[in-house]
Amino acid sequence: MKQLTIIKIGGNVIDNSEKLHQFLLDFTALPGDKILVHGGGKIASELGVSLGIEPKMVDGRRITDIETLRVVTMVYAGLINKNMVAQLQAKGCNAIGLSGADGNVIKAVKRPVGKVDYGFVGDLDEASVSVATLDSLLKSNLIPVLCAITHDGDTQLLNTNADTIASAVAVAMSSSYETRLVYCFEKKGVLRDVEDELSLVPEIRRSEFESLQDQGIVSGGMIPKLHNAFEAIRQGVKAVYIGKADELAQIDTQGFGTRLTA
Amino acid sequence: MKQLTIIKIGGNVIDNSEKLHQFLLDFTALPGDKILVHGGGKIASELGVSLGIEPKMVDGRRITDIETLRVVTMVYAGLINKNMVAQLQAKGCNAIGLSGADGNVIKAVKRPVGKVDYGFVGDLDEASVSVATLDSLLKSNLIPVLCAITHDGDTQLLNTNADTIASAVAVAMSSSYETRLVYCFEKKGVLRDVEDELSLVPEIRRSEFESLQDQGIVSGGMIPKLHNAFEAIRQGVKAVYIGKADELAQIDTQGFGTRLTA
């Protein structure tokens, strides 16, 4: 099977134009088929503020009301996605920017109203990703660049977590490719000592995950991150990497961040 | 050769949700390969005003400064394009929304600064349209939906006239398809009497264009429109139609607006 790398970047890369430039160079240089998934960054919140849209929070969680959906559609699918694609094109990468509506690439379900009404937020299931469309784009030598906007197939756009999109794409594409999923975040990876970047744990197998939790090496926000990563591996993804965007270039040589495997 | 229809819609359709819904139904029903090109509409100006960006005009012509470029990128490539694609998907049309940067579909040249500096405006030439990319999307049964944002291949997004994009796409695709180009605007077509919709001129050949100008039947803003249309025909487009969006459904039966031919 051909190898496919799915890379997710978030605000810490997007908001820093130098970091973003270097990352896009490294992404372009990465051999083989690849897909980029990007989140939002500060620009959406700033635009919301300029337009007088107050961020709505319930129990500390952000709500996507109709006004906020308009803003994130403009910023994620328009401003960020198109500028990123134009930069990739200039670097020789034949990128094509997509929301989930484009080619029906990611179809989501509006999150049901429970204790909290999250508004226009989309959740994914096994049938969400159109493998056929992504596959035909890759076969046409186009590099998909996905933003965190999906649709419900019934005219409604939805705001969807970019980590979740990256993971769902990696799982779905595992039927046709040997996939690896790369999460770029602000740390070098899983660290034995959060203060010490030299304490990187280079590899974690699923069987070791529990013991690392017991030892407190994996804690806090890392627990759900790693849990989701191992879940993707259980569903067919070959490896999940968690590390720093600026080290992407060495993924096939010295390795990149923490590598999670079955 | 396979037939390909390129349709351009503008603000008078985009700004009216009922008209847009009906147009997108008719577009979906249109048989054969097709490409949609859309302009802006009032939303971009309204967003600009909300953000306190004053429209900049020089000699009655709009200038795209960097702030305006951000706004049109958000509105055309984000808000309008993605909502249109989501609506087409809901109607069973496998639309894929694109700016010119995506797949390098439309590469433009920033308009040189002459008497007026138009700012971030892109002009097109013969090499602007990537026939290969559009062709491979069509062959994957994807329907391209192009917004009026292009790029220069060197990271810069540019604002480009949607009529010009539609015409350049039709001309370039004529090498591989029998193309027809459809401009939807507010009138039924070329009218012998502007006040009387029953006075429609159903067909104009190039040889008749001059005499219609002499008679004053074609005048004002219609002259450059028709001039550009005949220029597209000279460069290989089979026919250009100018008519009302809400009559698109009858293009292959009773005809649509004014049909221009060689």
- Residue pLDDT, tens place only, A1-28: 999 999 999 999 999 999 999 999 999 9
Residues in B closer than 8 angstroms to A51, CB to CB, are 50-51
Q: Is A235 on the interface with B (CB under 8 A)?
A: no
Taking an 8 Å cut-off on Cβ atoms, the answer to whether B86 and A50 are in contact is no
**Residues recorded for chain A:** 262
Backbone angles phi, psi at B192, to 5 degrees: -65, -35
**Residues recorded for chain B:** 262
Q: Is A75 on the interface with B (CB under 8 A)?
A: yes
pLDDT above 80: residue A60: no
Per-residue pLDDT tens digits for B184-210: 998 999 999 888 989 999 999 999 999
Domain boundaries, chain A: 3-261
Superfamily of domain B3-261: Acetylglutamate kinase-like (3.40.1160.10)
At A59 the pLDDT is 76
User: Is the CB of residue A196 less than 8 Å from the CB of residue A188?
Assistant: no
At B230 the pLDDT is 97
User: Is the CB of residue B213 less than 8 Å from the CB of residue B222?
Assistant: no
For an interface test with A, the pick among B83, B88, B130 (most A C-beta atoms closer than 10 Å) comes out as: B83
Helix residue spans in A116-257 (DSSP H): 131-139, 162-173, 206-214, 222-234
Residues in B closer than 8 angstroms to A47, CB to CB, are 74
At B41 the pLDDT is 77
Per-residue pLDDT tens digits for B128-174: 999 999 999 999 999 999 999 999 999 999 999 999 999 999 999 99
Burial code of A70-101, b = ≥16 C-beta within 10 A, e = fewer? bbbbbbbbbbbbbbbbbbbbbeebbbbbbbbb
Q: CA–CA separation, B257 vs B190, rounded Å?
A: 7
Considering only the beta carbons, identify the residue of B78, B142, B151 that sits closest to A74.
Answer: B78
Q: How far off is chain A from B147, nearest CA to CA, in Å?
A: 11
At A41 the pLDDT is 77
Report residue A97's pLDDT band, with 50, 70 and 90 as the boundaries. Answer: very high
Percent of chain A clearing pLDDT 70 (strictly above) = 100
Q: Is B108 on the interface with A (CB under 8 A)?
A: no
> Model pTM?
0.97
Q: CA–CA separation, A23 vs A41, rounded Å?
A: 15
Percent of chain B clearing pLDDT 90 (strictly above) = 85
